[in-house]
């Protein structure tokens, strides 16, 4: 068990912000926005909601992963005046796709130490296109180039040069491993993944900030299929790496997310709603490979979940809403079992029975996850914290969990691999 320290006083989230996820080249709500502008949109929403003026923000973290695309580093220096935080202490940081989950913990420690009263955590990523030598123009990005840069996150001494295959390592083998370990016939496993995806799309269809807002059934009908299952098994949904199909994987998008973390004293002063407590968090790091002979057991996640829950003084049965990293949707099964939200070998049945939708008794990933909501690397974890906060406050219009969760847990993978888990309480 990892060392688990605690904070003398738990800070709270007072404000959250998130842009529409999509493409700055095409999506009307964010079309034409530059990195600076996209980041400001999320940050201003979070600060407005927290009821704090930029002068009350004592420090800020800004996360962004792929500098080759943004043509930025030292983002904090370039963003300080844009954010109204001129001369404030800022840090650019990244833990890849877990960045803004990790940032929440960093901010919580800053506030709990007494050094700062209110800290802004901001994540922004543009993946549709690269910056050019003209700041008003962007160039569409070839996906193979994006993945070349993304794979810089994977063991560059050895693994990458030994034919590293992300689709097989991160999708295919864990899915196959799950089926074999729990003796789920492959056809049934495909049906389970179909149901995971139906949930993903259901939730995306009810989230105006999601990238994909159609249900799977609507897409199937439009493509000329009588039913979604036939569409799922068709050539329209080929294997990315057997047994993982294309629709079980992420969609890369552009977007930004933000949150304001405050002391309870500050929250009482400025904030009109019930603040959400940052009750526990933990991170764990591992070089490749991320799992051994059993692809369903990830020691880094087990470590992070256990330590975050211990810090928050909760058990898995206390969690009313769970959000797990789903760049590959198989992790909705694997991670929900690692943390104990479901018993081992039971998650696949729960998805088929519809228990994980926003209407179910075990709700998960209600924003639409990294396929429907979309995946904007450093901004995605913040968007998932945003969703948890909205659910806990009863503000998740159209996809609200019936009984607002008292406890939520958000898990993220940062390629490759950082595991970040945060427990929130209201």
Partner 1 sequence: MMERMIEKFYKSLAKGKIYGTKCKKCKEFTFPPKAGCKKCGAHKMEWKTISGDGTLHFFSSGNLPPMKFAKYHPYAYGAVELKEGPVFFTQIEGVDVSNVEAIEEQNMQMPMPVKAKVKKMAGMNIVVFKVVKSQAKKKSKRKSKK
Residues 6+ apart with CB under 8 A from 356: 196, 199, 332, 336, 350, 362, 363, 364, 365
Distance, in Å, from the CA atom of 416 to the CA atom of 181, rounded to the nearest integer, reads 24
Least Cβ distance, residue 129 to partner 1 (angstroms): 19
Q: Which is nearer to partner 1, 189 or 259 (CB)?
A: 189
**Touching partner 1, residues 130-149 (CB under 8 A):** 144, 147-148
Distance, in Å, from the CA atom of 356 to the CA atom of 364, rounded to the nearest integer, reads 5
Tell me the CA distances in angstroms from 388 to 47, 109, 343, 367, 391, one per residue in order: 18, 20, 22, 9, 5
Per the listing, tokens 């059993």 go with 294
Number of residues that bind partner 1 (CB under 8 A): 36
Least Cβ distance, residue 342 to partner 1 (angstroms): 23
Tell whether residue 50 is a contact of partner 1 (CB under 8 A). no
Tell whether residue 225 is a contact of partner 1 (CB under 8 A). no
Least Cβ distance, residue 182 to partner 1 (angstroms): 15
Q: Which is nearer to partner 1, 87 or 293 (CB)?
A: 293
When binding is defined by CB under 8 A, the residue of 16, 106, 228, 241 that contacts partner 1 is 241
Least Cβ distance, residue 334 to partner 1 (angstroms): 14
Classified as helix, coil or strand, 279 is strand
Quick note: the x/- pattern for partner 1 over 79-108, rule CB under 8 A, is ------------------------------
When binding is defined by CB under 8 A, the residue of 17, 51, 243, 369 that contacts partner 1 is 243
Is the separation of the CB atoms in 54 and 47 below 8 Å?
yes
Write the DSSP assignment of 331-367 as a string of letters.
HHHHHHHHTTSS-TTTHHHHHHTTTTSTTSSS-B-TT
Tell me the CA distances in angstroms from 111 to 41, 140, 268, 281, one per residue in order: 24, 40, 15, 14
Where helices occur in 223-318 by DSSP H, the ranges are 228-232, 264-270, 299-312
Tell whether residue 152 is a contact of partner 1 (CB under 8 A). no
Distance, in Å, from the CA atom of 36 to the CA atom of 131, rounded to the nearest integer, reads 12
Tell whether residue 2 is a contact of partner 1 (CB under 8 A). no
Tell whether residue 416 is a contact of partner 1 (CB under 8 A). no
**Touching partner 1, residues 259-288 (CB under 8 A):** 288
Q: Which is nearer to partner 1, 135 or 289 (CB)?
A: 289
When binding is defined by CB under 8 A, the residue of 240, 267, 314, 417 that contacts partner 1 is 240
When binding is defined by CB under 8 A, the residue of 131, 176, 378, 423 that contacts partner 1 is 176
Rg of the chain in Å (alpha carbons): 20
Tell whether residue 172 is a contact of partner 1 (CB under 8 A). yes
User: Among the candidate windows 65-73, 78-86, 121-129, 237-245, which touches partner 1 by CB under 8 A?
Assistant: 237-245
Q: Angle at CA 385, nearest 5°, toward 382 and 391?
A: 145
Tell me the CA distances in angstroms from 210 to 179, 331, 384, 414, one per residue in order: 30, 20, 12, 21
When binding is defined by CB under 8 A, the residue of 157, 224, 265, 272 that contacts partner 1 is 157
When binding is defined by CB under 8 A, the residue of 44, 225, 229, 242 that contacts partner 1 is 242
Burial environment of residue 172 by CB neighbours within 10 A (0 to 12, 13 to 18, 19 or more): buried
When binding is defined by CB under 8 A, the residue of 163, 224, 265, 317 that contacts partner 1 is 163
| Residue ranges in contact with partner 1 by CB under 8 A | 144, 147-148, 151, 157-169, 171-173, 176-177, 180, 186, 238-243, 288-289, 291-293, 295
């Amino acid at each position: 068990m990892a060392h688990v320290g605690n904070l003398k006083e738990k800070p709270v989230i007072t404000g959250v912000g998130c842009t529409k996820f999509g493409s700055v080249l095409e999506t009307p709500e964010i079309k034409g926005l530059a990195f600076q502008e996209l980041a400001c949109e999320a940050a201003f929403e979070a600060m407005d909601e927290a009821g704090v003026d930029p002068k009350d923000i004592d420090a800020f973290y800004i996360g962004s992963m792929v500098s080759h695309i943004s043509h930025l580093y030292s983002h904090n220096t370039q963003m300080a005046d844009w954010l109204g935080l001129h001369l404030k202490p800022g840090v650019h940081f990244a833990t890849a796709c877990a960045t803004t989950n990790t940032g929440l913990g960093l901010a919580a420690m800053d506030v709990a130490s007494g050094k700062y009263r209110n800290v802004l955590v901001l994540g922004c990523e543009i993946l549709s296109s690269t910056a050019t030598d003209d700041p008003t123009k962007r160039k569409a990005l070839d996906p193979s180039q994006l993945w070349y840069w993304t794979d810089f996150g994977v063991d560059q001494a050895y693994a990458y040069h030994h034919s590293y295959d992300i689709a097989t390592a991160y999708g295919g083998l864990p899915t196959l491993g799950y089926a074999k370990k729990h003796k789920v016939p492959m056809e049934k496993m495909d049906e389970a993944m179909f149901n995971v995806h139906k949930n993903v799309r259901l939730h995306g269809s009810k989230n105006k900030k999601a990238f994909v807002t159609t249900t799977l059934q609507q897409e199937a009908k439009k493509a000329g299929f009588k039913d979604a299952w036939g569409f799922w098994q068709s050539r329209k949904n080929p294997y990315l790496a057997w047994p993982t199909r294309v629709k079980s994987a992420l969609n890369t998008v552009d977007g930004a997310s933000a949150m304001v973390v405050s002391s309870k004293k500050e929250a009482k002063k400025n904030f009109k709603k019930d603040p959400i407590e940052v009750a526990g968090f933990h991170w764990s790091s591992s070089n490749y490979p991320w799992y051994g002979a059993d692809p369903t057991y990830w020691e880094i996640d087990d470590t992070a979940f256990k330590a975050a829950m211990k810090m928050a003084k909760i058990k898995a049965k206390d969690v009313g809403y769970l959000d797990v990293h789903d760049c590959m949707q198989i992790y909705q099964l694997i991670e929900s079992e690692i943390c104990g939200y479901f018993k081992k070998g039971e998650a696949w049945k729960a998805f088929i029975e519809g228990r994980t939708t926003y209407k179910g008794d075990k709700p998960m990933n209600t924003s639409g996850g990294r396929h429907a909501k979309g995946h904007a690397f450093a901004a995605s974890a913040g968007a998932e914290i945003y969703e948890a906060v909205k659910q806990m406050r009863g503000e998740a219009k159209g996809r609200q969990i019936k009984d607002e969760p008292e406890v939520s847990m958000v898990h993220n993978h940062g390629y490759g691999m950082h595991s970040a888990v945060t427990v929130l309480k209201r």
